[in-house]
A and B are shown apart, each in its own frame.
Chain A
Amino acid sequence: MADQPKHGSHGGHCVHQGNGGSFSTNVVFYPGRDGASSPFGSCTAKTLFTVVGWATNGDEQYDYGAVKLNCNVGNTTGWFGFFWQTASLVGLPVQVSGYAGDKPFGTQWSGSGDVQVSEVRKTRYMIDSFNGQSGGPVFETDRVGSFCGGPCANTIHAYGLSNARNSGTRITQVVFNNLIAWRNAP
């Protein structure tokens, strides 16, 4: 999920193995990729971020991270907003978008539905997803609000569960603050 010209938010397991493992290597972005076509080229990573709860503990509740890019491609593609609220997100209509591994390689897909479970650090939804969609946004397509207008994410998609709700890491106030700090990092 691109959220600034040089920044993307992600599931922690996209940038780090978690539970004492190591950071990912050879991270390359292909914004707007469509099969063999990369209309905006590619971009390497400058800095990878996650938190102790994921990197050291491998705790699903803390499975989030970010990548600082080596380019300003977001100025061309645009980017997502993101927001937090303490109130429940149940019933909020959202989309989940990403590069599903069960579809033709390198193609982006999305599904829509409502947030069904709103936990302190997670949201859960019956929206189809597949391996490869981690780090994608769970977002309102056209939010109207003072903090975030247009496409606005409230969750970073992370986990699939057969015959049950898929889930992601909710953008809480603390998560939001970390994402802002990482976005503003040099």
Chain B
Amino acid sequence: MPLKARLILVVAVALASCNHESFSDLDQPVAADAAAGSASEAPMTRSGIRGRVQAQDGSPVSGALIQAECAAEPCQPIPEIGIFSNTDGVFFWPLREGGYRFTARKDDLTSCPLTAVVGPSKDDPITLTLSAYTTAGCPR
């Protein structure tokens, strides 16, 4: 454990020991040097949706904002993080198992909504294609 993380842990434990509320092991801090970076590959054990955003000619689109909505009851809480596609147009969004409706947009372009089920196993990635769609132009 880096010295910095150790120091933070000591401080947090010391503060908590003065309080009535117990300090759970799950509240132990972990830290990372932002400059060092770390692998961004999603863990295989995590349920979620993998996908790719592309232009109409099939080329990858980076920096597209992905949106998720509940598409099937019971709806699951959705982490309201802004997920963007990477330089390869690829994204991963950790989500609980359930049915969701996904869209992507960038600038004035958007994709038609795509419904997908997040399951317990590694699911096939979805593909969201950007165009000057209107909702009326999307397949039902």
Chain A residues proximal to chain B, CB less than 8 Å: 11, 13-14, 16-27, 44-53, 55, 57-63, 67-68, 86, 98-99, 101-102, 105, 129-134, 157-164, 166-167, 172-175, 177-178, 180-182, 184-186
Contacts and interface: CB of A to CB of B under 8 A. Distances in A.
A173 B19 contact: yes
A45 B94 CA distance: 23
B26 A57 contact: yes
Contacts of B8: 49, 181-182, 185
A22 B40 contact: yes
Contact of B31 (A24, A48, A53): A48
Contacts of A55: 30
B97 interface: no
With a 10 A CB-CB cut-off, give which of A105, A130, A181 has the most chain B CB atoms. A181
23 contacts: A11-B79, A16-B30, A17-B94, A21-B94, A24-B40, A25-B34, A26-B37, A46-B35, A50-B30, A52-B30, A53-B27, A58-B94, A86-B21, A101-B65, A102-B67, A129-B80, A131-B65, A132-B80, A160-B78, A174-B27, A177-B19, A181-B8, A182-B29
Nearest to A28: B34
Interface residues of B, number: 48
B132 interface: no
Contact of B43 (A14, A20, A26, A68): A20
B47 to A, nearest CB: 9
Given A58-B94, A99-B82, 4 more contacts: A63-B79, A131-B68, A167-B77, A174-B19
B81 A131 contact: yes
Contacts of B29: 49-52, 178, 181-182
B109 interface: no
Contact of B80 (A46, A134, A175): A134
Contacts of B134: none
B41 interface: yes
A136 to B, nearest CB: 9
B79 to A, nearest CB: 5
A69 B79 CA distance: 23
A67 B31 CA distance: 10
A27 to B, nearest CB: 6
Contacts of A16: 30
